[in-house]
Amino acid sequence: MLKNNSLDRFGSIASAVCAVHCALSPLVFGLLPLLGGAGLNERWLEPAFVFLSIAFAAMALAWGYAIHRRRSVIALFVLGFSSIVAGRWIVAGASPLFEIGLVVAGSLILVLAHRRNHSACVTCPVCNSRGTPECE
């Protein structure tokens, strides 16, 4: 089983990669055919990034909340998740800049939620005094 901090690390990386992908994809995908990389512009790629970011966030943050009860972490998750969903599927097509902005902002909010969750685990006096593996 993955430890909570490992989930936070993977989730932070997945969310950051999602943010970079969404921010740079219009530029990069415009150049891919010239560079012979048109196969990287697959329709499954973006939903896969979204799914991974949200799945890791849900697992890590729910685990952290069960131990530390930090509501701000859950609030950040809900805000980040809502922003990604709104940008990717609700306002999609209305304005590409608005869509990209919402998804990138949501991904960065998930990174922040992971960082707060991770810091709660690192500074947890209860877990550190008992030596329980939940916060490692």
pLDDT along the chain (136 residues), means of 10: 60 71 66 58 72 81 83 92 88 80 87 84 67 52
- Residue-range definition of the domain harbouring residue 117: 4-135
What per-residue confidence (pLDDT) applies to 130?
A: 53
pTM equals 0.70
Q: How far apart are CA 2 and CA 136, in angstroms?
A: 10
8 Å CB contact between 106 and 81: yes
Q: How far apart are CA 24 and CA 57, in angstroms?
A: 22
Q: What total of structural domains would you count in the chain?
A: 1
Residues near 124 by beta carbon (within 8 Å), at least 6 away in sequence: 67, 68, 135
> Packing angle between helix 71-85 and helix 45-68, nearest 10 degrees?
170
pLDDT (0 to 100) of residue 83: 93
Stretch (H or E) spanning 112: helix 96-122
